[in-house]
């Protein structure tokens, strides 16, 4: 007899790493293409040699202090997890009950769906709408749904569109005020904060129903070392902390400490990626039938005239991400100049081949 799982998890589909065969450019996970700086590698190596010991309390304390000065929030407001993912998961666990409603935009970060199902909750997804070169959220619809929910998640900037979708700080504060009366949690996911430069983390001092989630996976080049954090009012932070496992890997803690001690490296990564993003977007727009949206992140959302475009690129060893908008769409991570050029040239060839096929089928 197979194990009896919760009925709502019978057909749960989580994230499945996809194998693309030989990969020449890995542009599907919004990672930094640049390895962490030498001081991070040294710190991880040093801590690996102490792997027989659980981490020291002093490591947590040091990391919390560094995050406090990086974010401007008090140390009691910071919680650290194995990636932003873990912080998100704990927030869903803390507030969302069976059959209760979670509200988030569609499309948005795929794990909101996983965590809603994990809790047996029900999702109300508010569709984003394209307008010129960016995607927008209908704020009044979102607000209306949010007021009858238990939890609201908003990725700002949004993944996969790259658009900033939150309203002004005043409008957000107004919603938080209303949600606070109903006991609703708002998760503001700022995973791409370093690229957008936009944050509302300051509101966590006044609102105990706001959790801001950030990560060291992107700008800080630590995706594989899994460090993310949350910023919340001390009372909410304490509740979330109570659900965390007692220890994170000491290598991850050490990596985060070393990276935050030298934030200028991340700043340089962000500068290079932003420059490359603008170059890539401009170059892509010159290809026939291509539409590229303005991005405040390290990735671009692209509509192409090519069916199954993700598979076509994979045949050339280029991994990009599928998006639920159609099989002619893709999300591409902005990478090194060499990989960006390889992606651009390969896509140009694929578009041209698709055009030739169309032309000759019209002649028939
Ligand atoms: C919007 C958003 N939130 C959170 C995350 C989680 O990142 P991590 O778990 O690596 O910190 C990601 C990762 O891609 C993301 O795109």
Q: What is the pLDDT of residues 50-59, one digit of tens each?
A: 999 999 999 9
> Both 148 and 57 in a single domain?
yes
β 210-215/185-189 pair status: parallel
> Both 257 and 135 in a single domain?
yes
How far is 93 from 86, CA to CA, in rounded Å?
A: 10
Span 28-49, average pLDDT = 98
Model confidence at 266: pLDDT above 70:
yes
Over residues 281-299, the pLDDT tens digits come to: 999 999 999 999 999 999 9
How far is 203 from 207, CA to CA, in rounded Å?
A: 6
C-alpha distance across the termini of the chain, in Å: 58
> Both 139 and 243 in a single domain?
yes
pLDDT of residue 19: 66
Query: Are 28 and 302 a contacting pair, CB within 8 Å?
Result: no
Q: How confident is the model at residue 355 (pLDDT cuts 50, 70, 90)?
A: confident
> Both 222 and 80 in a single domain?
yes
Among 142, 185, 133, which Cα is nearest to 161's?
Answer: 133
Percent of the chain with pLDDT over 90: 90
- Which atom of ligand 1 lies closest to the CA of 215? 11
Task: State how far Cα 362 lies from the chain centre.
Answer: 42
Question: Ligand 1 mean position to 360 CA, how many Å?
Answer: 44
> Both 185 and 285 in a single domain?
no
Question: Ligand 1 mean position to 81 CA, how many Å?
Answer: 12
Ligand 1 pocket list (CB less than 6 A): 30, 83-85, 109, 155, 159, 189, 191, 215, 217, 223, 228
Model confidence at 362: pLDDT above 70:
no
How far is 340 from 323, CA to CA, in rounded Å?
A: 19
Residue 360 CB-density burial (10 A; 0-12 exposed, 13-18 middle, 19+ buried): exposed
How far is 192 from 150, CA to CA, in rounded Å?
A: 25
Span 56-82, average pLDDT = 97
Query: Are 190 and 215 a contacting pair, CB within 8 Å?
Result: no
* Single residue among 217, 240, 262 that ends a domain in this structure: 262
> Both 183 and 94 in a single domain?
yes
Over residues 199-255, the pLDDT tens digits come to: 999 999 999 999 999 999 999 999 999 999 999 999 999 999 999 999 999 999 999
pLDDT of residue 363: 62
> Both 161 and 222 in a single domain?
yes
- Residue 2 domain-assigned? no
Residue 197 CB-density burial (10 A; 0-12 exposed, 13-18 middle, 19+ buried): exposed
Positive or negative CA dihedral for 353, 332, 108, 114? positive
> Both 43 and 28 in a single domain?
no
How far is 88 from 282, CA to CA, in rounded Å?
A: 34
Question: Ligand 1 mean position to 103 CA, how many Å?
Answer: 18
- The CATH number of whichever domain residue 347 belongs to comes to 3.90.1150.10
> Both 58 and 146 in a single domain?
yes
Among 195, 193, 186, which Cα is nearest to 215's?
Answer: 193
- Residue 312 domain-assigned? yes
Question: Ligand 1 mean position to 88 CA, how many Å?
Answer: 9
- The CATH number of whichever domain residue 232 belongs to comes to 3.40.640.10
Among 246, 199, 254, which Cα is nearest to 226's?
Answer: 254
Which of 17, 83, 87 to probe ligand 1 with, by most ligand atoms within 8 A of CB? 83
Which of 28, 81, 105, 109 to probe ligand 1 with, by most ligand atoms within 8 A of CB? 109
pLDDT of residue 2: 82
| Residue 312: partners with Cβ closer than 8 Å, 6 or more residues away | 306, 350
Residue listed under structure tokens 């957000």: 172
The encoded tokens of residue 360 equal 């000759």
Question: Ligand 1 mean position to 146 CA, how many Å?
Answer: 22
Gyration radius from the chain CA atoms? 21
Query: Are 224 and 190 a contacting pair, CB within 8 Å?
Result: no
> Both 274 and 295 in a single domain?
yes
- Residue 279 domain-assigned? yes
- Residue 156 domain-assigned? yes
- Which atom of ligand 1 lies closest to the CA of 218? 10
What is the Cβ-side half-sphere exposure of residue 347, based on CA atoms within 13 angstroms?
Answer: 36
Span 73-93, average pLDDT = 98
Question: Ligand 1 mean position to 254 CA, how many Å?
Answer: 20
Task: Report the interhelical angle of 111-118 vs 83-95 (nearest 10°).
Answer: 40
Go through 8-47 and write b for each residue having 16 or more CB atoms within 10 A of its CB, e for each that does not: beeeeeeeeeeebeeeebbbbebbbbeebbeebeebbeeb
- Residue 291 domain-assigned? yes
Model confidence at 176: pLDDT above 70:
yes
- How do the residues of the chain divide into helix, strand and coil, expressed in percent and rounded to 5? 45, 15, 40
Over residues 296-328, the pLDDT tens digits come to: 999 999 999 999 999 999 999 999 999 999 999
Residue listed under structure tokens 């977007």: 281
* Single residue among 200, 235, 262 that ends a domain in this structure: 262
How far is 283 from 341, CA to CA, in rounded Å?
A: 9
pLDDT of residue 1: 82
- The count of structural domains within the chain is 2
* Single residue among 262, 297, 328 that ends a domain in this structure: 262
The encoded tokens of residue 41 equal 């590698």
> Both 305 and 234 in a single domain?
no
- Residue 17 domain-assigned? yes
Model confidence at 269: pLDDT above 70:
yes
> Both 248 and 270 in a single domain?
no
pLDDT of residue 13: 76
Question: Ligand 1 mean position to 175 CA, how many Å?
Answer: 24
Over residues 272-281, the pLDDT tens digits come to: 999 999 999 9
Average pLDDT, the chain: 95
Over residues 89-129, the pLDDT tens digits come to: 999 999 999 999 999 999 999 999 999 999 999 999 999 99
Positive or negative CA dihedral for 216, 217, 219, 222? positive
Span 332-339, average pLDDT = 98
Model confidence at 141: pLDDT above 80:
yes
Q: Which domain holds residue 82?
A: 38-262
Percent of the chain with pLDDT over 70: 97
- Residue 354 domain-assigned? yes
């Amino acid at each position: 007899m197979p194990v009896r799982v919760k009925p709502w998890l019978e057909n749960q589909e989580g994230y499945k790493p996809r194998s693309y065969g030989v990969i020449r450019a890995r542009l599907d996970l919004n990672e930094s293409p640049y390895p962490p700086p030498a001081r991070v590698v040294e710190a991880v190596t040093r801590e690996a040699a102490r792997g027989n010991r659980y981490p020291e309390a002093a490591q947590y304390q040091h990391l919390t202090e560094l995050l406090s000065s990086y974010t401007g929030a008090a140390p009691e407001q910071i919680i650290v997890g194995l990636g932003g993912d873990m912080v998100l998961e704990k927030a869903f666990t803390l507030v969302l009950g069976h059959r209760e409603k979670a509200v988030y935009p569609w499309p948005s970060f795929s794990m909101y769906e996983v965590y809603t199902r994990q809790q047996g909750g029900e999702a109300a997804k508010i569709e984003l709408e394209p307008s010129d070169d960016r995607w927008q959220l209908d704020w009044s619809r979102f607000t209306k749904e949010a007021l009858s929910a238990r939890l609201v998640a908003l990725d700002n900037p949004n993944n996969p569109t790259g658009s900033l979708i939150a309203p002004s700080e005043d409008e957000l504060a107004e919603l938080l005020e209303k949600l606070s009366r109903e006991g609703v949690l708002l998760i503001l996911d700022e995973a791409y904060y370093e690229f957008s430069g936009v944050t509302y983390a300051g509101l966590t001092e006044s609102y105990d129903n706001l959790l801001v989630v950030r990560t060291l996976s992107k700008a800080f080049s630590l995706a594989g070392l899994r460090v993310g954090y949350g910023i919340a009012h001390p009372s909410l932070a304490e509740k979330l902390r109570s659900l965390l496992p007692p220890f994170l890997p000491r290598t991850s803690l050490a990596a985060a400490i070393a990276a935050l001690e030298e934030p200028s490296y991340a700043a340089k990564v962000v500068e290079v990626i932003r420059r490359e993003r603008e170059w890539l977007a401009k170059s892509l727009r010159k290809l026939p039938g291509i539409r590229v949206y303005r991005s405040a992140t390290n990735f671009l959302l692209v509509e192409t005239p090519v069916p199954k475009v993700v598979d076509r690129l994979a045949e050339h060893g280029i991994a990009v991400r599928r998006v639920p908008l159609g099989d002619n769409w893709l999300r591409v991570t902005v990478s090194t100049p060499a990989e960006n050029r390889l992606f651009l040239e390969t896509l140009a060839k694929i578009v041209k081949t698709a055009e030739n096929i169309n032309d000759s089928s019209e002649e028939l």
